[in-house]
Amino acid sequence: MRFRRPRHGWWDEPGNPLPGAFVGVDNALPLGGTNPTGTGDWTGWTITSSLIDGLPALFARSTGTLYYYTPQQLQDLAFGNLVTPLQVASSGYSSASLPVLQAADLNADGTPDLRTVSTNGASTARIFNSATGTLTAQTAQTLIAPGHAWPLGDGTEGSAAGAADTSAGLNLTGSGAGASWDSDDVFSPNLALDGTATGAMTSNAALSTSSAFTLSAWVNPAAVGGVVASQDGVHNSGFLLYPQSTGNGRSAWPPVTPPAATTAQPAAAPSSASGPT
């Protein structure tokens, strides 16, 4: 089950037995166009959800106020009934101070909790007590800032000839051949690459493969066989990230194994890069 927001109202889109698949927005149920305060629509609101016994619960915030909807309340909304969500906090949860807000059952007690990340990179688990309607913050952990970050959301349509590195300024540039901006997927906008040519590249190596590194990407491959990301080496690639069939209809991401020495520039040329796998 997932939520969509066409125009100004939220819709509940039922899930499909196939993992990661949904039955389509045509079968979605409207959750109502009125926000938790009852004073307008959902413009400017942030929501995050987690499952309870297979049904979604939802946290919603605007400015610094935080509300909670139980699974039963969401079902009531879907059937046109008015509900009053729980106001968990009247302040302290603005997107300016806490840009990341994620719901999950962090302590495996069957109740959704929250994980927040502040502007200075402090990640805090907040355990939710549904009986008292309160969140208890745990000791914060400082996240390691990425060496490079390419959100790939620089445009909404047309050829993509460049993308900003929001962390270190190593921007992607290219001819734009085989690369275009798209807005029809989980992440919108996103970068779609058709695999016909190198979609984007940096002016020099993004990382040293002679020491430990982590590579993270959200990718929705149209087919196996294309390369999502790579970095050139002296004689071969310093690393490759690509989807590989496991023989059972699913994709596997082979481990990254760099050679001993790499010096040249990285490149990105996947068959399609637009959403999560």
For the stretch 234-265, pLDDT in tens is: 777 788 888 877 654 444 455 455 444 333 33
Q: Are 19 and 2 in contact (CB under 8 A)?
A: no
Look at residue 199 in the predicted model and tell me its pLDDT: 57
Give pLDDT, residue 53: 83
Listed in sequence order, the residues at least 6 apart from 16 whose beta carbon sits closer than 8 Å to its beta carbon are 22, 23
Flag residues of the chain having pLDDT under 50: 1-9, 11, 13-25, 248-252, 255, 258-277
Residue range 130-159, pLDDT digits in tens:
999 999 999 999 988 888 999 988 988 888
Distance CA 245, CA 225 (A): 8
Q: What is the pLDDT of residue 185?
A: 75
Query: So what's the pLDDT on residue 249?
Result: 46
**pLDDT value for 191:** 87
Show the 3-state SS of 108-168. CCCCCEEEEECCCCEEEEEEEECCCCEEEECCCEECCCCCCCCCCCCCCCCECCEECCCCC
